[in-house]
Amino acid sequence: MTILKREEGQSLQVLGDRVCIKLKSAQSINNMAVVTVDVPPNGFVPPHTHAKEEESYYMLEGSMIMYLDGREFMIEPGDFVHVPARRNIVFLFDLG
């Protein structure tokens, strides 16, 4: 069992965002990783795909526009997103 407080975990800077690794895939039976990401206002994650990994997001605060295979979605606090592998995604954060 693992219990981590909000500020605990391995912190990294990735493309200007603060990423905190809560659970590494090697620590999980099913190779699941869990991270938190703090993105500054007007942040951007460029187009990308993952060959094997699925991604899930739960928006805690702020908002983002997500493009999934060219379709636009507004994601707001409380929204959950699951992205299957091999899908093209882009994120634009807090565009206000």
What is the average pLDDT across 4-16? 89
Return the sign of the alpha-carbon dihedral for residues 78, 82, 9, 21. Answer: negative
Residues in the chain: 96
CATH number of domain containing 59: 2.60.120.10
Whether 71 shows a pLDDT value over 80: the answer reads yes
Tell whether pTM > 0.75: yes
Tokens of 48: 């990308």
Structural domain range at position 16: 6-38
Same domain, residue pair 48 and 61: yes
pLDDT of residue 30: 80
pLDDT of residue 95: 61
Summarize pLDDT for 21-70 with one digit per residue, the tens. 998 888 888 878 888 888 888 888 889 898 888 888 899 988 999 999 99
Closest CA to 46 of 75, 89, 94, 96: 89
Is 1 contained in some domain?
A: no
Return the sign of the alpha-carbon dihedral for residues 78, 62, 84, 68. Answer: positive
Same domain, residue pair 47 and 77: yes
CA distance 36 to 21: 7
Same domain, residue pair 55 and 90: yes
Same domain, residue pair 96 and 50: yes
Question: Residue 5: is it exposed, middle or buried by C-beta count within 10 angstroms (0-12/13-18/19+)?
Answer: exposed
Q: Residue 26 phi/psi, 5° resolution?
A: -70, -15
pLDDT of residue 93: 84
